[in-house]
Amino acid sequence: MDNSTNSNFIKTIIKNDLASGKHKKIVTRFPPEPNGYLHIGHAKSIVINFDLADEFNGKTHLRFDDTNPLKEDQEFVDAIQEDVRWLGYEWEELHFASDYFEEMYERAVLLIKKGLAYVDDLSADEIREYRGTLTEPGKESPYRNRSVEENLDLFERMRNGEFADGEKVLRAKIDMASPNINLRDPVIYRIAHATHHNTGDKWCIYPMYGYAHPLEDAIEGVTHSLCTTEFEDQRPLYDWVVRECEMENVPQQIEFGRLNISNTVMSKRKLKRLVDEKVVDGWDDPRMPTISGLRRRGFTPEAIRAFVKETGVSKTSGVVDSAMLEHFVREDLKLKAPRTMAVLRPLKVVITNYPEGKIEWLDAEINPENPEMGIRKIPFSREIYIEQEDFMENPPKKYHRLYPGNEVRLKHAYFIKCEDVIKDEDGNIVEIHCTYDPETKSGTGFTGRKVKGTIHWVEATNAIPAEFRLYGPLLLDDEQNEEQSGEEKDFLEMINPKSLEVVHGFVEPNMKNVKAHDKFQFFRHGYFNVDPKHSTPDHLVFNLTVSLKSSFKLNK
């Protein structure tokens, strides 16, 4: 699915800019901070930036916005590149904001010389206090009117490491009474004696986001700088920095609504907590909304891209039902994934009238919706496994599966009838005994009688043991982005205790050589992915990607 021809407000802006000659070629960028792994919200930004550039013959940069050494790490730099590529995108240029530190410093010196920046000795708390509120103007710092010479000297000494963290900052001198709090002399440099993943110990002062980001865009010649709506109030500062720093290229910041998904968290800070507090098995835990988690769970780049495109580009950010994401992975796997039978919670069935020691190899379609995938051979014998839930000793009305005296169809095989239930001393069911009718073999066109239930099974002597990891939503409740709700709830209290269930059963013998990330549809269960981290030839592990059932309907 590709709806790149759909129009959206950003496309309109770009079209006008190309038509008016403002830009000959457009340049976009995806600018992650390497302080965590990418999540599906980032996928939205990736798709928007890369697809727009592509559609208008422009280019896209991948830029690491690495201006905060305290939180950033090479591990994240590597993982982000892997994820962007896996989603199907390749950047024209790779950049690091930290490569521009020298130029950013020089531009700050220019601001000081123009009387537009000053070194402030107020503490972080005092700065906050002086800033005022939405209804009251801020107060000027007593250091605001230092001379240019003094500021130049102090700023250089900040760079040279003469001061401790927090002792001084550099602030833009804009307007302490501005109705936009971002313009009340924002801090543009702070001191942090920390080792940076790229620049090492070269710097001990680091530029702040509001100052660094517009410069990064301008230095790279980005034409349209797309970000989420929480940065809308920063746009006047963005434009101020580009203008007052006398940048040659003038990028335009445009905001779009962020993507949120129900029953999960979508902020790196919270995802990091889940990892650090070991609530999940790393950033790529299949319950995580990270790109690496979705990949491990069995989601495909095609499904993620189609989903993101369907959510559209607008100014508002809503919460999208996770069922919609699941809809797209089912759509994508429907024709691609081989069907096979897997028994997740096994119950042994002995077919007492089937010859002992005999094995029959039956034909089974690999994908009835895609006949080109051909057929596979599956064994059948006197002993098979079925699902525990496909047998009931005392069934309710309308239960059409196995119960004493009832006959069902075994998918791809024969009708079997339950004759006897074998229990241990404690009354637990150990196995059940059935008879089969050779006349009813699948594919022979038998029409003698009908049965209401069809169940799946795996032949017992050739079955391969396997572990199945069944996932549910990570959170019990919808958790709104705290930027939106404004309150900080402890989301860890909302963790779904049943987000992971592990069961052990069997798969067909033709699954012996599966590889990491192979995807299957297990008949009647859903789509599963071979776990890339824990599955080995001796211990197969399958992750439930998505079940088959869905009440979700795409409005088209």
Q: Which residues bind ligand ATP (CB under 6 A)?
A: 31-33, 41-42, 44-45, 65, 227-228, 258-259, 266-269
Of 33 and 467, CB closest to ligand ATP: 33
Q: Which of 33, 230, 331, 482 is catalytic?
A: 33
Torsion angle in degrees (nearest 10) through CA of 216, 218, 221, 222: 70
258 is catalytic: yes
Active-site residue, selected from the candidate residues 63, 268, 309, 382: 268
- Taking CB atoms, the residue at the shortest distance from Mg ion is 33
Write down the least CB distance from residue 33 to Mg ion, Å: 5
Containing H/E element for 83?
helix 74-86
- Nearest distance in Å: CB 548, ligand ATP: 29
- Binding-site size, Mg ion (CB under 5 A): 1
CB 471 within 8 A of CB 287: yes
The phi, psi pair for 271, rounded to 5°, reads -60, -35
Query: Which of Mg ion, ligand ATP, none binds 41 (CB below 5-8 Å, type-dependent)?
Result: ligand ATP
The pair of structure tokens assigned to 334 is 């429907």
Structure tokens, 369 = 């919706």
Distance CA 65, CA 196 (A): 12
Q: How far is the CB of 70 from ligand ATP (least distance, A)?
A: 15
Task: Give 317 or 545: the residue with its C-beta nearer to Mg ion.
Answer: 317
Min dist CB 237 to ligand ATP, Å, is 16
Residue whose C-beta lies closest to ligand ATP: 41
Site string for Mg ion, 29-68 (x = CB under 5 A): ----x-----------------------------------
The distance from CA 121 to its chain's CA centroid, rounded to whole angstroms, is 42
Question: Which one of the listed residues 258, 270, 287, 519 is annotated catalytic?
Answer: 258
Alpha-carbon 162 to chain mean position: 43
Tokens of 161: 């490491």
Nearer to ligand ATP, 23 or 270 (CB): 270
Q: Is residue 269 flagged as an active site residue? A: no
33 a catalytic residue: yes
Determine the interface stretch with Mg ion among 27-35, 252-260, 363-371, 408-416 (rule: CB under 5 A).
Answer: 27-35
User: Based on CB atoms, which residue is closest to Mg ion, 33 or 518?
Assistant: 33
- Count of Cβ atoms closer than 10 Å to residue 401 Cβ: 19
Do 216 and 188 touch, CB atoms closer than 8 A?
no
- 228 contact choice in Mg ion, ligand ATP, none (CB below 5 to 8 Å, kind-dependent): ligand ATP
- Nearest approach, Cβ of 32 to ligand ATP (angstroms)? 4
Select 267 or 292, whichever has its Cβ closest to ligand ATP: 267
From the list ligand ATP, Mg ion, none, partner contacted by residue 44 (C-beta under 5 to 8 A by kind): ligand ATP
**From ligand ATP, Mg ion, none, interface partner of 42 (C-beta below 5 to 8 A by class):** ligand ATP
List CB contacts of 450: < 8 A, sequence separation 6 or more.
Answer: none
32 binds, among Mg ion, ligand ATP, none (CB under 5 to 8 A by kind): ligand ATP
CB closer to Mg ion out of 290 and 529 = 290
β-sheet bridge partners, residue 226: 254
CB atoms within 10 A of CB 369: 11
3-class DSSP state of 89? coil
Pairing of β 117-120 and β 169-172: antiparallel
Count the Cβ atoms, other than its own, within 10 Å of residue 518.
17
- Give me the least distance between CB of 58 and ligand ATP, in Å please: 17
Q: Which does 259 bind (CB under 5 to 8 A by kind): ligand ATP, Mg ion, none?
A: ligand ATP
CB neighbourhood size of 376 (10 A): 17
DSSP bridge pairs for 398: none
- Report how far residue 63's alpha carbon sits from residue 91's, in angstroms, rounded to the nearest whole number: 9
Spatial separation of the C-alpha atoms in residues 470 and 475, rounded to whole Å: 15
33 vs 54, beta carbon nearer Mg ion: 33
CB of 209 to Mg ion, least distance (A): 7
Return the one option of Mg ion, ligand ATP, none that residue 330 interacts with (CB less than 5 to 8 A, by type).
none
| CA 32 distance to own-chain centroid | 14
Distance (Å, whole) CA 481 – CA 39? 14
Residues that bind Mg ion (CB under 5 A): 33
Residues marked as catalytic: 33, 258, 268
